[in-house]
Amino acid sequence: MAIGLRVTVDGINNQAGSLAERWHKLLDDMKQFTDATSGLSAANLQALGFSAPDSTAMVAIISNMKFYVAEYYGVLNTLGAVNYDAAFLPVRGVSL
């Protein structure tokens, strides 16, 4: 166990909740980013100043991020239809 992790019910609950909150915030930020950028082509990115190789790489990165966001929110079910956002509501302190 990492130094500082209290192995108690409260410690485990607090750590799980904190991790779920951070994960949710990160994926929410990633969703906003991909919503704003997923329509950009390599040519669009080059017009903004990206080099040709960098623009191609960024289109792939944005696509991968969008896929990951879809997995997290349960829109895609390649891992067996798990909605991680809903699954971690309880440890984030959200009741339905």
- Angle (CA) 69-71-78 rounded to 5° is 150
The domain segmentation of the chain, as residue ranges, is 9-90
50/43 Cα distance (integer angstroms): 9
- 2 vs 73, residue with greater confidence: 73
- 22 vs 74, residue with greater confidence: 22
Is the CB of residue 76 less than 8 Å from the CB of residue 70? yes
pLDDT at 69 over 70: yes
Highest mean pLDDT among 49-53, 61-65, 66-70 belongs to: 49-53
Q: What token pair was written down for 84?
A: 């991680």
90/68 Cα distance (integer angstroms): 22
Residue type, 61: I
The alpha carbon dihedral of 27, 84, 82, 75 has a sign of negative
52/46 Cα distance (integer angstroms): 6
pLDDT given for residue 4 in this prediction: 65
For residue 90, name the pLDDT band (cuts at 50, 70, 90): low
For 7-32, the pLDDT digits (tens) are 889 888 888 889 999 999 999 999 99
